[in-house]
Structure 1
Amino acid sequence: MDNSIMVQALGELVGTFILVLLGDGVVAGVSLAKTKANGAGWIAITLGWGFAVTLGVYASAFMGPAHLNPAVTLAFAIIGKVSWSVVLPFIIAQMIGAFLGAVVVWIQYYPHWQATDDQSAILGTFATGPAIRSPFANLMSEIIGTFVLVFALLALTRGQFTEGLNPLVVGVIITAIGLSLGGTTGYAINPARDLGPRIAHAVLPIANKGDSDWQYSWIPVIGPFVGGILGALLFVLLP
């Protein structure tokens, strides 16, 4: 791997770390017992995730493209927006960053796991889960959400924005998806964002945790990849 790809991959790791630290952090604040944000609700979570993505992009864009999402990286490679040589390094870096972000969330909220009896709430601070478990519907939710994400990201490349404004617009996209489409599955729309923290949930000695729901775990991985590819392919068909 040449130095430029290493630097870009480091950017993906750092950005995804910030994204998950702040994104899972807001879910923990809302969901865990005896936090000052407990019960703040879905609006707080969606806004928090939007801000998390914005700051993750700002923290890493000077090193590379700041995809912070394997589905984005793969979709962009398929339509020639990035070289195939960066796909595997980026995805590995994104997974590591997501895992490490989740570990720091565990440390940040350390006494609150013991104070929380709800195992699903504990898992939900790390990984997504369906409001109603229906594999086909849940998969479609992740496909649609990620389709919108990737299509919108590519549409940004057609417009003119003041330098440095793009990360804010990306945060708006994430917030919009969360508010409008996220209530069904928790809108992973990012395989690393879900799988990395789910692995952290499985391996960390978290007080009161239950199982990591591996039966569901394929949906927030496969769905975003499919949705991202479809969004990219439709975009390149446009005039």
Structure 2
Amino acid sequence: MESLRVKVHVKHELGRALLGEFIGTLVLVLIGTSVVAQHILPSPRLNDFIGVNVGFGLAIAFGVAVSAKLSGGHINPAVSLMFLSFRALSPVAFILYTLVQTAGAFVGAALTYAVYHEAIENFSPGVRLVAGGKASAGIWASYPAGHLSLFGGLVDQIVATAVFCFLIAHITDKRNSYPSWVQPLLVGLSFVAIGNAFGFNCGYPCNPARDFGPRLFTFFFYGGDVFTHKGWFWVPIVGPFIGALIGAWVYQFAIGFHTTKEEETRYVIVGKSEKTEERKPLTSTGEEVEMHTA
């Protein structure tokens, strides 16, 4: 990673600044306009969906927090694949992480069913449905909205997971100096943004284990429809893996490889007037570049 970073690092300060502004504005508009689209397009409105977004964001924040010291807090095979591509995780560890993440999701789904099975029975007495007005399988796994094609769903999951992993790559990049204690909260908040922006089409799973583990559990109560309904089940598995790699490496080539560590740049005040202050950064190479701040 470091050797590649040296090769592609943009050395011109203004070039890095322009690249940063381009990517930052892209993220702002992509998420912001998607949030607006989700507000305008559904009928009825999805205001109550905000609670789901916040709840899942908190779930991720605490899931990452409790596991971070032990494993790095991936809790998502797509995120693990991202770190595998960064050579921060071995192939064997990636496979094992994926297996235990899926197992954890399966058990979590079983516990939810244990807590809510009486409410589900009250909601749809004697039946467990994947589709229709009394469907409850969507509590556990994602299913596409009526307007969504398989290709559209694949695009949805690639883009949503790419944005999510782009943000995770940024948050966990040591060069950005986020304190370790705040990173789980930021990851959770980033998923709130993903939910608000991309939840309309299929519920923004963005996590192969989170979708497949619970789907496998529901197979025992809802039957084979959980895997055959609209041929959907593979989309939230394949899409996030593709999106994770795209988001991770877009971050590295657009931002990460061009970011300097905080300690690599020191500033000294060389002149000051009533309205402006002139500073010169002392870079690790000893090269001085003037900066004026109002």
- Which residue is 1:125 aligned to? 139
| Aligned twin of 1:96 | 103
CA distance in 1 between partners of 2:73 and 2:87 (Å): 16
Which residue is 2:94 aligned to? 87
1:217 aligns with 2:224: no
Deviation, structure 1 residue 133: 2.9
The structure, 1 or 2, with the larger RCO (C-alpha pairs under 8 Å, 6+ apart) is: 1
Partner amino acid, structure 1, of 2:185: L
One-letter code aligned to 2:123:
T
Cα deviation code 1:69-93 (max 9, x no counterpart): 0111112111223222311110001
CA–CA distance in 2 between the matches of 1:112 and 1:59?
Answer: 29
Paired residue for 2:116?
109
TM-score of the aligned structures, taking structure 2 as reference length: 0.64
CA–CA distance in structure 1, aligned partners of residues 63 and 95 of structure 2: 20
Match of 2:209 among 182, 189, 192: 192
State the TM-score, normalizing by the size of structure 1.
Answer: 0.78
State whether residues 123 and 210 of structure 1, in contact with CA within 8 Å, keep that contact through their aligned partners in structure 2. Answer: no
Shift of 1:130: 1.4
- Give the distance between the partners of 2:69 and 2:82, measured in 1 at CA: 21
Distance 1:49 1:62 in 2: 21
Map of 1:146 onto structure 2: 161
**Runs of 4 or more off by more than 6 Å in structure 1?**
none
- Provide the C-alpha distance between the structure 1 equivalents of 2:85 and 2:114, rounded to a whole number of angstroms: 38
Sequence identity percentage = 32
- In structure 2, the gaps of 5 or more residues are 1-45, 259-294
For residues 46 and 107 of structure 1, do their structure 2 counterparts lie closer, same or farther at Cα, with a shift above 3 Å needed? Answer: same
How many angstroms apart in 2 are the aligned matches of 1:59 and 1:163? 12
Instruction: Write the letter of the residue equivalent to 2:90.
Output: S
Partner residue in 1 for 2:192: 175
- Are 1:166 and 2:187 counterparts? no
**Which range moved further: 176-185 or 72-81?**
72-81
The residue type equivalent to 1:110 in the other structure is: H
